[in-house]
A and B are shown apart, each in its own frame.
Chain A
């Protein structure tokens, strides 16, 4: 079988591809782990008792670790990351029945793996044949090379993940009869008064801090906290109310009192729309949430309008009367398809 035919067959069989990805990630995790520990162990005889592990801006080592710590620390970091990724993946799979597009996993594992490997190799190389960690060589060049390599691997992983993303079969949602010669438009908005309240509190704190800083009551550094609170107030305000519109153009979800920023999906970019009951617990809180269920704009628990794009990404927004919004959207999609 040629390589291309093999690839085509794999692309056609989602489960096989999925398990190949799992095995691939598993092998990468174990391989990187082994290398991280093996590098210093192999060079044990040529390394000092304490290894330089941190370099100052001038390129001279300014911090060290005992040999065993330098060996184990990166491996532990890597292990912790792998476990975190695994748990997230597991939760996402449990929530969405296994249909998750997970290119971010490849990016995370690829980028961090290469970074850690490069860092470990640089450390071993800089400490090689030195008797004291203070004499360790510079790692600037290697750090740059490592970072470039890590970015390259991350980008490649992202591209592979994008290409391999399976188009998820659309979920059958409600539909609405649109009579000939009529144009339907659906609007809904929802707001969360607690988020409004929190935004107001943040705003007041911000103004108070700014006034205090200007009046000389508090140090100038208070300006920074004022700016932080102002930023939080704006972000909260933008998440506190949302308007959803379904027109013949598609779906538009506008945030905040100004209706900006807004997200838009053309009708032919949406595969299907339906209604789901979601709670804040499920998606990880209120506001603009990214979780295993896709993106959710959660302002109140309960009825959510959910769309799946043709690329297989899910977006949900908690609005009232979502049933008819989804129905109209499905009818518009069907009209486009004709």
Chain B
């Protein structure tokens, strides 16, 4: 699988790792059911500590993008590609909102107001 990282990204490393994997899933690099490379491989390839990678992976599990299964390693969850793409867009919206001075709660209110 091919992972992309932004050199100028200033987010914490575990978020960058999660972002790279989320993007890879959104772009169809790995489809639902696919096994992700082991955390150690990812950490060596990305030049990041294993624990940082694991932190990123756990965040993705909590988002419902990845599934941790004993004996099967980390797999891409069903529907994760769509979900991941949607989450990416929400993130963009949040970033735009922040630039314009709206907080997360404001955006949630806005979404509630949309019919």
Q: How far is the CA of A324 from the CA of B24 in the complex (A)?
A: 14
Contact mask B62-104 → A, CB, 8 Å, 1/0?
0000000000000000000000000000000000000000000
Q: Which of A180-224 contact B (CB under 8 A)?
A: 181-189
Q: How far is the CA of A5 from the CA of B42 in the complex (A)?
A: 53
- The reply to whether A185 and B45 contact each other, CB–CB distance below 8 Å, is yes
Q: A187-B1, A247-B47, A321-B1 are in contact. Are A182 and B6 (CB under 8 A)?
A: yes
Q: How far is the CA of A48 from the CA of B40 in the complex (A)?
A: 71
Q: Which of B1-33 contact A (CB under 8 A)?
A: 1-8, 20
Contact mask B38-50 → A, CB, 8 Å, 1/0?
0011101111000
Q: A181-B8, A245-B45, A247-B45 are in contact. Are A187 and B3 (CB under 8 A)?
A: yes
- Of all chain A residues, the one with the shortest Cβ separation from B47 is A247
Q: Which residues of A contact B41 (CB under 8 A)?
A: 187, 189, 243, 245, 259
- The reply to whether A185 and B5 contact each other, CB–CB distance below 8 Å, is yes
Q: Which of B1, B7, B44 contacts A182 (CB 8 A)?
A: B7
Q: How far is the CB of B17 from chain A (nearest CB, A)?
A: 11
Looking at chain A's contact residues, the main secondary structure is strand
Any B CB within 8 A of the CB of A158: no
Q: A181-B7, A182-B6, A183-B5 are in contact. Are A259 and B45 (CB under 8 A)?
A: no
- The reply to whether A186 and B5 contact each other, CB–CB distance below 8 Å, is no
- Of all chain B residues, the one with the shortest Cβ separation from A257 is B38
Q: Which residues of A contact B8 (CB under 8 A)?
A: 181
- The reply to whether A324 and B6 contact each other, CB–CB distance below 8 Å, is no
18 A-B residue contacts at CB 8 Å? A182-B5, A183-B5, A184-B3, A184-B4, A184-B5, A185-B3, A185-B45, A185-B46, A186-B3, A187-B3, A187-B41, A189-B41, A247-B46, A247-B47, A259-B41, A259-B44, A321-B2, A328-B2
Which chain A residues have a beta carbon within 8 Å of chain B's beta carbons?
181-189, 243, 245, 247, 252, 254, 259, 321, 324, 328
Known A184-B5, A187-B42; 10 more pairs at CB < 8 Å: A182-B4, A183-B4, A184-B3, A185-B46, A187-B3, A189-B41, A245-B44, A252-B44, A259-B44, A324-B2
